[in-house]
Structure 1
């Protein structure tokens, strides 16, 4: 437990990199060799960037993990009633994947490109395009009607593919740019940043459930949500600032990948994150549906995701504080073991108390993992100029396939113990991988 994740070679490289003299941070030749004195660790610009990044998470990742609202009450019961829970898309056709999972997969995969563009100095262009596309595709989603080939296709293209690409363009750069301003306080800063996703995940399920089930209906409810997202994205874009100069030459993914594959700790972190996605998105996509189908009231099931994300918010906010005493690797390992154990308990979900206990517990410990994965990758990266590329590789490898697999195992007969066991085993593998690293 007390053994840090980086191997001796990586630690040595990181130490040597940190000791390189830096004459000026405006000199590109020194961009990859910054010591701790070159990071402001605070100030208006630094905290403004962290706030902007938190708003990006609020609007992007937070909206994605609120997908369970759409699946539980509309896609499985009203809009896409011709499809099984694991095949929510074009009226029973099998050429597509699953909406929420494709969205999550693209968010992860597009990070491979957006991370590289950040390293090349295209941060503002990438953020501008991503924010505009996200607003556009959310408004397109509001045009969808119940059932029908073309309407279901519109849902898949707008919420699955379009929003996934848009959020993917902003996700990795918004996280990585925070590392331009913090080194010693990265875990704390990132805890605040990723808390934005939990905040919207608390607010959005309540807002969407009430808007869509109220007088406004699906179309106007989604439009109100899209308008709010657009305003927050504009504020985030105006707040965030880069500090380090772009790389004089394009970051070679071949070089970064080769170096990363020789870093056992980084490889284990990537595989552990991929295993984490299996359990996390199963809970996000199916907790509300599970509570509805087990006889809980519609009113309470609306708040099942809110309870889950409230726990996640607390976990993300406290993870940085806990890691200051236990260390980032040890904190992630502990959260991984406990969260995987909680997943198995969903088999016994039968009452309001069980939903609340499972939601708050898994939310808290999974939130701790999410908050620390960024600082962990920064901790394992010898050259700060490679952070964008390494995070892009991480999110691509961990691209979510867990939810569609769990959905296929669930089947239209809703056999809940099978996906619960699968997700729990995935979480256990995550903990083992982080520990072995």
Structure 2
């Protein structure tokens, strides 16, 4: 089963060329020699698979992920701080709306950013998104205690739109420079968000709860993010001209509706994301409320996100043996089980074990999100559009998931109810991915039979 998926994954890279001349290039085997960096520049239809410009672009995209999803995934620090110190009059559900809206907009804005990216507006998107993100964080530092709307507008709305403008362009630009190594490089870029989710919580916990305070602490983090985004904008470069006829989103959406595996992936992603962010938002607060100790609890998210980073990095190597669909299924089911396991969180050991295991499998899952969309896209010229459509719909799962969990938690902190809800939702999403894999294999077999029949005739 594993080898079948892996061979089909390789076939996708050889049969789905979207540019002239890709066919010849795609016949290169996995172990073939990569072009030397000192060779003359490759023609537009060939992929350099390396070189200073390609790796500088990958590094810039890595920094965008560090500052975008990496900051959003650190919202558990703010959830704890707002609950206990800054927005004490608000419910856990109301506070969760801030973080969930930010993450939702990061994905949902893909409908706009993906379309504009396909039309050649890459630099416009990343520069605008970077400036807006810096501005939003500095505006957040001006927010006053118990002024919910100020934090909601700056952190929920502004930061979410900014990250959304940057997210898809920073992932899709990898396809300009890499083809054979695309999955591996995408996992490297995606690991930026998990590394950011390690650094940001350490920095924010020590600043917000220390003598620096909220205002100067957020300003310090805003300065760090602004510097990294400036470096990212200077590093990233496009290589291919936009298509003469940009992808029509309406036409792409109609194709998606008829693409059963892709629809199943969207449905599974929506259900899975309802529960996925529950640990990221509530893990630190859960640890503190169970008396684990404030100092250690501050590092609970760090433990989770360090494992997440390891998961994302290793996913690019593991997928060679499992295939993308299989790895998505394994990681999704594992995440659902571990979320249910949070019902038993009551000791330091349980925090460490759950944090490490959930972080690792969540990293595997997130690292394979973009490669899965690429795998299920027959025509790679539509990848930006399909990513935008998929992330927009899946984003609604993110939007409603943690606020529902916060409402189920109540002011009495009944932890088992939101953990049960989130775990079941994620497991259901994993079941949808199993069905997706079956339909994908079936489509591949039908396509192979048709090609064989044409060859015989």
TM-score by length of 1: 0.90
> What is the alpha-carbon distance in structure 2 between the residues aligned to residue 4 and residue 293 of structure 1?
47
Hey, what does 1:137 align to over in structure 2?
Answer: 136
Unaligned 5+ segments in structure 2 are 24-42, 437-457
CA separation of 1:153 and 1:20: change in aligned 2, threshold 3 A: closer
- Would you say the 8 A contact 1:272–1:433 is kept in 2? yes
> What is the alpha-carbon distance in structure 2 between the residues aligned to residue 408 and residue 3 of structure 1?
44
**1:195-222 Cα shifts (integer Å, max 9, x gaps):** 1111111111111010111121100000
Hey, what does 1:311 align to over in structure 2?
Answer: 307
> Does the alignment pair 1:46 with 2:73?
no
- Would you say the 8 A contact 1:67–1:100 is kept in 2? yes
How much has 1:77 moved relative to structure 2?
A: 1.4
- Would you say the 8 A contact 1:311–1:364 is kept in 2? yes
How much has 1:98 moved relative to structure 2?
A: 1.1
How much has 1:296 moved relative to structure 2?
A: 1.2
Hey, what does 2:87 align to over in structure 1?
Answer: 80
- Would you say the 8 A contact 1:377–1:391 is kept in 2? yes
Hey, what does 2:206 align to over in structure 1?
Answer: 210
How much has 1:22 moved relative to structure 2?
A: 3.0
CA separation of 1:391 and 1:86: change in aligned 2, threshold 3 A: same
**1:245-288 Cα shifts (integer Å, max 9, x gaps):** 11222321111111111112211221222222122211110000
Hey, what does 1:91 align to over in structure 2?
Answer: none
Alignment of 1:208-357 (within 5 A): 208-357=204-353
> What is the alpha-carbon distance in structure 1 between the residues aligned to residue 430 and residue 248 of structure 2?
31
**1:101-128 Cα shifts (integer Å, max 9, x gaps):** 1111111111110001000000000111
- Would you say the 8 A contact 1:52–1:237 is kept in 2? yes
- Would you say the 8 A contact 2:58–2:189 is kept in 1? yes
Unaligned 5+ segments in structure 1 are 25-34, 89-96
Hey, what does 1:146 align to over in structure 2?
Answer: 145
> What is the alpha-carbon distance in structure 2 between the residues aligned to residue 219 and residue 199 of structure 1?
24
Q: Which secondary structure does the structure 2 equivalent of 1:98 belong to?
A: helix
Q: Which secondary structure does the structure 2 equivalent of 1:18 belong to?
A: coil
Hey, what does 1:190 align to over in structure 2?
Answer: 186
> What is the alpha-carbon distance in structure 2 between the residues aligned to residue 23 and residue 324 of structure 1?
22
CA separation of 1:23 and 1:364: change in aligned 2, threshold 3 A: closer
CA separation of 1:367 and 1:11: change in aligned 2, threshold 3 A: closer
> What is the alpha-carbon distance in structure 1 between the residues aligned to residue 168 and residue 261 of structure 2?
20
Hey, what does 1:30 align to over in structure 2?
Answer: none
CA separation of 1:162 and 1:4: change in aligned 2, threshold 3 A: farther
> What is the alpha-carbon distance in structure 1 between the residues aligned to residue 18 and residue 131 of structure 2?
41
Match of 1:378 among 369, 374, 391: 374
- Would you say the 8 A contact 2:116–2:122 is kept in 1? yes
CA separation of 1:291 and 1:254: change in aligned 2, threshold 3 A: same
- Would you say the 8 A contact 2:5–2:323 is kept in 1? no
> What is the alpha-carbon distance in structure 2 between the residues aligned to residue 250 and residue 83 of structure 1?
46
Hey, what does 1:28 align to over in structure 2?
Answer: none
TM-score by length of 2: 0.86
How much has 1:159 moved relative to structure 2?
A: 0.2
Alignment of 1:363-402 (within 5 A): 363-399=359-395, 400=398, 401-402=400-401
How much has 1:240 moved relative to structure 2?
A: 0.9
CA separation of 1:432 and 1:137: change in aligned 2, threshold 3 A: same
**1:373-396 Cα shifts (integer Å, max 9, x gaps):** 111111111222211111111110
How much has 1:184 moved relative to structure 2?
A: 1.7
> What is the alpha-carbon distance in structure 1 between the residues aligned to residue 420 and residue 124 of structure 2?
43
> What is the alpha-carbon distance in structure 1 between the residues aligned to residue 12 and residue 251 of structure 2?
15
How much has 1:3 moved relative to structure 2?
A: 8.9
Hey, what does 1:59 align to over in structure 2?
Answer: 67
> What is the alpha-carbon distance in structure 1 between the residues aligned to residue 169 and residue 362 of structure 2?
22
Hey, what does 2:37 align to over in structure 1?
Answer: none
How much has 1:413 moved relative to structure 2?
A: 1.6
